[in-house]
Amino acid sequence: MTREEWLRISAALSLGGLLPNNLLAELATSSELHRSDFGKDFVWGTATAAYQIEGAWNLDGKSESIWDHFTHHRKAKIKTRENGDVACDFYHRYESDIELMRQMNIPAFRFSLAWTRILPDGTGKVNQKGIDFYHRVIDKCLKENVAPWITCYHWDLPQILEDKGGWANRDSIRWFEEYVDVIAKAYGDKVKNWMVFNEPMAFVPLGYLIGVHAPGHINFSKFYKAVHNVVMCHGAGGRIIRNNVKGANIGTTFSCSHVDAKNDKPANTRAAARADAFINRLFLDPVMGLGYPKADLPACKHIEKHMQPGDEQLMAFDFDFVGLQNYSRMVVKKLALIPIIHVVNVPPKKLGHDITDMGWEVYPEGIYHLLKKYNSYKNIRKIIVTENGAAFPDEVVNGEVNDVKRLQFIKDYLAQVLRAKREGVKVDGYFIWSFMDNFEWAEGYRPRFGIVHTDFATQKRTIKASGKWFSEFLKNQ
Ligand code: IFM
């Protein structure tokens, strides 16, 4: 063991008390990754979302969101029949949680705002108590030297707006503009890092096409309309932040998966191109000014039907950065009977790699390919990995969580980020999903993504081995 390795291990010991032997071995092999390899300006952080952590679902004037409604009225849609009523109780515990981030040397905290706290009627009257809550969160971040990174929308539309058609109603563009205008004006003096959306390719199809997420629709027409309205809101939201926040660093985030064809049969190669257009490009391309990817995905014609004169220009925005969010990869083959994409996934279990608790394949090289792909877009100025992480079953044993698999996952994905960066990709940040275990939507609380363990019965937080490693990594500049 080198002296440097020994020093890092001793530092880890002082941070986390006695570490198990296998973790010591892990730490000893992590010498290949150093924070300094990524450069001084690389942003490091952890990410969360309002509904997944806050709880306090009906406190201080907050109204019902589509996720409150979905979990209360369509319980069977949640595998464990759970809801986010309490979640991690961040609403009451934000101070100690942000202090923990500081203790863990985490420089940036990505979180979303609940529209229903700010504008309980969706539009119109502003709820001062909601505004005040996020001021307290932001002030605490600034006090602890943890930079706040705000996501405007992470899936929790006010139910009152869903009752008017939700994202499938073109008025949603106006509603969203009003909401973003309120928050940009309220927090713009204190917060410079903004993201308009979290993963449109998740909340639009899961909520309007497959119906497994709120609001639970299985409806092609609503889906196509919602895609276009949400695309339009990217440009609209970006412009409002630009006009209101001096010196803003504005981005938006996209989920993405590297897509491989099962084999090189031409039908499967074309299937992979269609899957890629759907999963990775349906929102990204129009927002980057390239229009819908209809050459590879003919179904785009159903979306384009909803375009109005002038939309082509309005959907694009000159973002300062694009948030890349990656967990896994897809291997596909043609299957004509699947609507829109005519593609089916090869089950991840058959691919020969480790599988996470979500059933997703562990495939670190995927993030490298995606970074290269994003880098080839002329209009992407900078890429930040705004989410990456893994769910594995965790157990607290003698006050410790030895999440070796998550730790390895993070290191392996980070190594691929570094590989891309060394090859000239403009990647400038990395946020782990998630700071702490939280409500994983239709999966309930079972999948644990945190680098901090949450005991949902007592709300006790325990830094996992991955969290200890991350703190140590961040400490050594
Ligand atoms: O928990 C989610 C998050 O809300 C959005 N991105 C993926 C995460 C893991 O599924």
- Print pLDDT tens along the chain (477 aa): 343 443 343 333 333 333 443 443 444 344 489 999 999 999 999 999 999 999 999 999 999 999 999 999 999 999 999 999 999 999 999 999 999 999 999 999 999 999 999 999 999 999 999 999 999 999 999 999 999 999 999 999 999 999 999 999 999 999 999 999 999 999 999 999 999 999 999 999 999 999 999 999 999 999 999 999 999 999 999 999 999 999 999 999 999 999 999 999 999 999 999 999 999 999 999 999 999 999 999 999 999 999 999 999 999 999 999 999 999 999 999 999 999 999 999 999 999 999 999 999 999 999 999 999 999 999 999 999 999 999 999 999 999 999 999 999 999 999 999 999 999 999 999 999 999 999 999 999 999 999 999 999 999 999 999 999 999 999 987
Which of 449, 451, 454, when mutated, tests ligand 1's pocket best, judged by the most ligand atoms within 8 Å of its CB? 449
Strands 343-345 and 329-334: antiparallel
CA–CA separation, 121 and 65 (whole Å): 10
CA of 440 from ligand 1 middle (Å) equals: 7
CB-ligand 1 contact for 433 (6 Å cutoff): yes
Q: Which atom of ligand 1 is nearest to the CA of 443?
A: 10
Q: Domain coordinates of the chain in residue numbers?
A: 1-30, 37-475
Find the distance separating the first CA and the last CA of the chain, reported in whole Å.
Answer: 20
CB-ligand 1 contact for 403 (6 Å cutoff): no
CA of 310 from ligand 1 middle (Å) equals: 33
CA–CA separation, 448 and 398 (whole Å): 19
Q: Which atom of ligand 1 is nearest to the CA of 49?
A: 4
CATH code linked to domain 37-475: 3.20.20.80
Strands 108-112 and 147-153: parallel
CB-ligand 1 contact for 137 (6 Å cutoff): no
H or E element that contains 454: strand 452-455
CA–CA separation, 262 and 244 (whole Å): 48
- The single-letter DSSP state of residue 20 is P
Environment class of 288 (CB within 10 Å of its CB; exposed 0-12, middle 13-18, buried 19+):
buried
Which of 48, 154, 441, 451, when mutated, tests ligand 1's pocket best, judged by the most ligand atoms within 8 Å of its CB? 441
